[in-house]
Structure 1
């Protein structure tokens, strides 16, 4: 129950302020009475699919990754904005993203492509994709292109 309340508070803080780093978010939660560690906050950020993305003011701030709203107020899927390229090495694949988007897109891959993808490892702008046994490159691409519109 406490986690759910903390998650709701994190979303409220991100929507109401420009939070540019984890320390700012951690301090905001502490000021609201939460006793939270950096490790817990990192897990919360991953679970909530929070990314650092450009704001209309030209800086980068934490945002909820479910959708990015562009300047014309059109809602765009996160992966259509954040995905840059994919390249294979043997059975493994590496996706390049815009800075700050990798963790959220990896979470999307983990939840939507779990029939073909065993798991992902994400950094700031790179995702390592580990396909399940006997899954071809073509099957990986087909699986990912079902929710990443500009996948080639």
Structure 2
């Protein structure tokens, strides 16, 4: 059972991370992650997770998780809130400090939390214009910035 839960978590992560067009491609990614499963097992997992396919806007279809469209819309809102409120980002080790415009610390911290970066343990919004971000052990400010730029390409250096 434990392996199944780990596999389901891996499937969700892969669908969120990569552009998965077929079960064959997903099986390849799972094998790279160390999961050896049959196509029939994968098919049951996808049904259990209620994975669907949506148009990629070109000539194909990609896998999507339930609520993914809503999540993407919310993520765009959080990106907008972050860009509107932040002034600068600095770090030391696995601690990041984001300076914000006055009164924007809550919305910037909420945005970081809701961008669902795996390496962020949590945020603390200051009283007015500062957000503290704690990263997982071994994750640096540079790693954090790389993840943020993936989510927010408009983020300035």
TM-score normalised by L of structure 1:
0.46
More helix per residue: 2
Structure number, greater radius of gyration: 2
More strand per residue: 1
TM-score normalised by L of structure 2:
0.45
